[in-house]
Amino acid sequence: MKFKVFAKINLSLNVLTLEQEGYHMLDAVNQSISMYDTVTVMPRADKLCKVFCDKDIGVINTALTAANRFVKTFDTNGYDIYLEKGIPMAGGLGGSSADAAGVLAALSKLNGISLDEAGKIADDVGSDVKYMMTGGLARVGGRGEKVQSVECDSVLYFVIATPPFGMSTQRVFQQFDFSPDFTKTDNDKLIQAVLNEDVAAVKLNLYNGLQQAAFSVDDRLKKFFDKLKKFGFVSMSGSGSSMFFVCADKFESGFLLKQLEKEKIKAFCVESKNYGIEYI
């Protein structure tokens, strides 16, 4: 069984609280994009789960955690899981959460278990996993467990720019607690702008409350941001390190991509997706 699992960007990320019992309360607008990992799942005859990946994702990872939780919760046999990474790692694009969501979706389909049932263990695997199981345009609250999907047929175009280094989510949130930024954007206006495909209004309402904390953690990210903003309005996704531009159409995104490539900046043209997982 094989799935594409799509990356996400945070069109907004309002941080509402300092750390509380290991988490921060958030109010974010997430959007799936056409960048993806591929997840392939093969049943085993025993109870073991193993993950094989074309990149080094570590011995302990969310895909493996998701599989082990599923086997324990629903008393199934184990699985071999193969990951092909197309989503940059440690880039704030939800790659590890997407892989876990893909595993849960695949195992649900193999065992005739509803996504709603599998979704009950998603929060124990990772904060973004529940959202990644549905994807699309959504308002995400709490520590990520409150997902309000928004029906949306609009298409937006983005250019994702990635520096040659990643960011530690834990360190960025620790820095946020040391120097918090409780500035908030209006997520209702932002969602309406997306629905209207109003690019100017989308740009006006973008905001990431972790951006300044991320700059403080690694000044290379601030230098990368300063270099990018010469090409237009740019915002950070998640806790970094990826940045994104919102474009009016494919022509503008393609033109911007060529400009960035001339500056030796690694970048990708993507568009919005109204779902998070696609069965192949």
**Is there a catalytic annotation at residue 198?**
no
Cα separation, 136 vs 159, whole angstroms: 17
**Residue among 117, 194, 98 at smallest CA distance from 149:** 194
Cα separation, 214 vs 205, whole angstroms: 20
Q: Who contacts 203 (Cβ-Cβ below 8 Å, separation ≥6)?
A: 233, 246
**Is there a catalytic annotation at residue 128?**
yes
**Residue among 6, 8, 30, 265 at smallest CA distance from 141:** 30
From 37, 99, 128, 218, the catalytic residue: 128
Three-state secondary-structure class, residue 200 = helix
Cα separation, 160 vs 67, whole angstroms: 30
From 4, 8, 130, 273, the catalytic residue: 8
47 neighbors 5 (Cβ within 8 angstroms): no
Catalogue the active-site residues: 8, 128
